[in-house]
Amino acid sequence: MQKVIEDIDILANDSTQHEACETVKVSEDENTGKERKLYIESYGCQMNFSDSEIVSSIMKKEGFDTTSDFNEADVIFLNTCSIREKAEQTVRARLSQFNTVKKNRPEMMIGVLGCMAERLKSQLLEEEKVVDLVVGPDAYRDLPGLVKQVDEGQKAVNTFLSREETYADISPVRLNSNGVTAFISIMRGCDNMCSFCVVPFTRGRERSRDPYSIVKEAQELFNNGYREVTLLGQNVDSYKWSPEVNNKARLEKSEVSEVINFANLLEMVAKVHPDLRVRFSTSHPKDITDEVLHTMKKYENICNYIHLPAQSGNTRVLEIMNRTYTREWYIDRVDAIRRIIGEDCGISSDMIAGFCTETEEEHQDTLTLMDYVKYDFSYMFFYSERPGTLAAKKFEDDIPLEIKKRRLSEIIDRQQKHSHLRNQRDVGKVHKVLIEGFSKRSNDDLQGRNSANKVVIFPKKHYQKGQYVNVLVDRCTPATLFGNIVD
Ligand code: SAM
Ligand code: SF4
Q: Nearest-5° angle of CA 63, CA 140, CA 135?
A: 110
Distance CA 448, CA 438 (A): 9
Ligand 2 in reach of 284 Cβ (< 6 A): yes
Residue 21 counted as an annotated binding residue: no
Residue 63, phi then psi, degrees to nearest 5: 95, 30
Q: Which atom of ligand 1 is nearest to the CA of 282?
A: 2
Nearest CA to ligand 2 atom 4: 234
Classify burial at 264, counting beta carbons within 10 Å of its beta carbon; exposed 0-12, middle 13-18, buried 19 or more.
middle
Residue 45, annotated ligand binder?
yes
CB contact at 8 A, 184 and 218: yes
Does the Cβ of 230 fall within 6 Å of ligand 2? no
- Does 190 count as an annotated binding residue? yes
The pLDDT assigned to 311 comes to: 98
Whole-model pTM: value is 0.94
Burial label, 319 (beta-carbon count in 10 A; 0-12, 13-18, 19+): middle
Q: Assess whether the C-beta atom of 322 lies below 6 angstroms from ligand 1.
A: no
How far is ligand 1, taken at its centre, from the CA of residue 39, in Å? 28
Q: Map residue 307 onto helix, strand or coil.
A: strand
Classified as helix, coil or strand, 434 is strand
- pLDDT score, position 9: 33
Ligand 2 geometric centre to CA of 151 (Å): 37
- What is the predicted pLDDT for the residue at 413? 98
Is the separation of the CB atoms in 378 and 422 below 8 Å? no
> For ligand 2, what atom is nearest to the CA of residue 282?
4
Q: Would the CB of 200 count as within 6 Å of ligand 2? A: yes
Task: Evaluate: CB of 44 within 6 angstroms of ligand 1.
Answer: no
Contacts of 471 (CB under 8 A, 6+ apart): 430, 431, 433, 450, 456, 458, 481, 483, 484, 485, 486
Closest CA relative to residue 467, chosen from 229, 45, 180, 210: 180
pLDDT of residue 12: 29
Dist. CA 230–CA 183, nearest whole Å: 5
Q: pLDDT (tens digit, 9 = 90+) per residue, 28-45?
A: 888 888 989 999 999 998
Residues of the chain with pLDDT below 70 are 1-22
CA dist 33 and 224 (Å) reads 23
Instruction: Check whether 356 is labelled as a binding-site residue.
Output: no
Q: How many CA atoms lie within 13 A of 40 on its CB side?
A: 29
Distance 192 CA to ligand 2 centre (A): 6
Whether the CB of 307 sits within 6 Å of ligand 1: no
Between the alpha carbon of residue 92 and those of residues 98, 99, 117, 163, the distances in Å are 10, 10, 12, 29
Taking only the tens place, the pLDDT of each residue in 302-319 is 999 999 999 999 999 999
